[in-house]
Chains A and B, each alone.
Chain A
């Protein structure tokens, strides 16, 4: 049996790099929030690039790259392709990278119209493409969901990536964890919540704190058994639920094209 503390068996420590695309960089910050344990992780890997906290640059191939953010312009598309070509393993890190996240709301508008609404007549000075999560542009090997990411999951995925073993994202709805946490169902409190349709793995973080689930981890393949009943039972307007989903999951529409390829 493999133990959790098994050391990484390499003479040279694996070269790991962080890269950020369109995002708030909050998932990077979650790394700094790990505390002194971070030094143990840094003892096992060799961080060669991490622009937000390092000035060092690296010009060889990477063992693992951790990608934060969505692809929202042509320059970003070229950049992620170059990074992919130099990386053995690519981890999509956080909602913006895995599902497009809040950046995807842009895709609900006509692109020129929304650019003009923010920048006025000079909007064309700023390149902008419809938002895409990383897997719609290059191959992704591991995903770490969430807005922000849940730090224990980062450590689990890193362990798997460094050992080359697969990591499976639990395909249960948030409700499964929410029930274990003994939260009163938001629907019982008269409020709609995306828990029944959203991938678990966050330990129902938002509902534990009295808020609703906003769907930041992406849609589950098998929604809670009663998910469809929820809509009729609580007499919800389907457009209300759809609108809520679009906050994080609008880019899912782009997956149809990816699957066809």
Chain B
């Protein structure tokens, strides 16, 4: 066989068009794969350590800064964990507004990934910059949609990057009737661009690759596509309460590398849009279901490259779900007495107790867990944050192990690009990876 004496050395330092820093290392000697790994080399920021001694009322503000792209997601997981620890039960209105915020987060992050980070691979260019000349209308549409989502977020929570008004206990500022109308109007103005996005999605071609794995995400007993509330579930039939999130992550250190990995029923599992689709496709908004049908996309899909397609479907879901919430709020009106002023709770507006709380929230890249232990004064004694990308690394490496032999006869550049594309398909958010261990290179 021609591969018998194939030698290959690939080292991609700082994979581009992903959030944060990661490397790909491949060694093939005499046709034998000695190494095919994805290394996280983000410099540690030690968030979990820094949270110790801070008030649990500050945790949202601090953990939002773990990631600029998922700052609303981190905020919501943090608030859920803090409220669980304090025994605060959010009102129905607050939950509705948080779901709306999460819809905006998904729209923003997925659009960024689909257009600016993933599309250049599919269109065969190194970044969106050459697309300004070759696909000007596409770039303009992407920036226009991004701006529109940013604008509705500004209205709802002050800004998208590090939301201001979403805190423990509720919202410091509630959208007035004009604010609701403004958000509806902006979303309506996106309708044509959304249609064009779907037309674009239909033309995209992805590598044909399949590997069975376990898909993990929120599951629920009601009919709503679960992003904020529910239990932790998997396509292998596992189900846990959020308080037992550690049973669903099982972090371990593998001799292959010193990065912390996670697993559940098998060697590895997948979190993210494809996992959510595979678990809950029947709960998508009818408009999103219609798009999935039109794209011929059915659960259970085992091609990780199609995570980007699942994101397109979720864009449609979140768009219409957000619109439904806004119209519902407009009809019922808001109770403005529910606006909260908390600060660090120095006036004791929220009763404080010692406790442990868990927040598990679907964020664009998958299931995110925050867990805080607090003392009687509401100060954090211990914090744990398990990030979606952290959970996916193990799965990426198992994908590498299956993919590489399938493409080993292709030119080195093609192999490198394909491996990078696979990493980008997961939409990894490495700055988020709060607790990775370093990896030693074998030269």
Residues of A within 8 A of B (CB): 21-30, 32-36, 38-39, 42, 47, 50-56, 72-73, 75-76, 101-103, 105-106, 108-109, 114-115, 117-119, 122, 125-128, 147-148, 186, 189-193, 205-206, 208-212, 214, 240, 243-244, 247
Contacts and interface: CB of A to CB of B under 8 A. Distances in A.
Interface in B255-274: 258
Nearest to B109: A29
B431 A209 contact: no
A191 B17 contact: no
Contact of B339 (A54, A55, A122, A210): A210
A1 B360 CA distance: 57
Contacts of B143: 32, 34-36, 38-39
A186 to B, nearest CB: 7
A208 B172 CA distance: 10
Interface in B401-443: 431, 434-435, 437-438, 440
A209 B68 contact: no
B167 A126 contact: no
B147 A33 contact: yes
Interface string B35-51: 00000000111101110
A26 B150 contact: no
Contact of B129 (A56, A147, A189): A56
Contacts of B150: 33, 35
Nearest to B41: A75
Nearest to A46: B129
A35 B162 CA distance: 18
A210 B45 contact: no
B48 A118 contact: yes
Contact of A53 (B17, B43, B347): B17
Contact of B49 (A38, A117, A214): A117
B372 interface: no
A53 B117 contact: yes
A117 B373 CA distance: 14
Contact of A36 (B46, B68, B140, B171): B140
B157 A209 contact: yes
Contacts of B14: 51
B438 A126 contact: yes
B79 interface: no
Nearest to A23: B431
B343 interface: yes
A35 B43 contact: no
B302 interface: no
9 contacts: A25-B69, A34-B143, A34-B147, A54-B127, A54-B128, A56-B127, A118-B48, A206-B158, A243-B54
A29 B339 contact: no
A106 B46 contact: yes
Contact of A117 (B52, B69, B158): B52
B221 interface: no
B144 interface: yes
Given A103-B45, A191-B343, 20 more contacts: A23-B68, A28-B68, A29-B112, A33-B160, A36-B143, A36-B147, A38-B143, A50-B127, A53-B17, A55-B17, A102-B50, A109-B50, A115-B49, A125-B258, A125-B437, A128-B46, A190-B341, A192-B343, A209-B158, A240-B346
Nearest to B53: A108
Contacts of A105: 50, 54, 62
Contact of B147 (A29, A35, A72): A35
Contacts of B49: 106, 109, 114-115, 117-118
Given A32-B143, A117-B52, A244-B344, A52 B19 contact: yes
Contacts of A214: 61
Contacts of A191: 341-343, 346-347
> 4 closest pairs, A vs B, by CB?
A26-B68, A210-B172, A35-B147, A209-B158
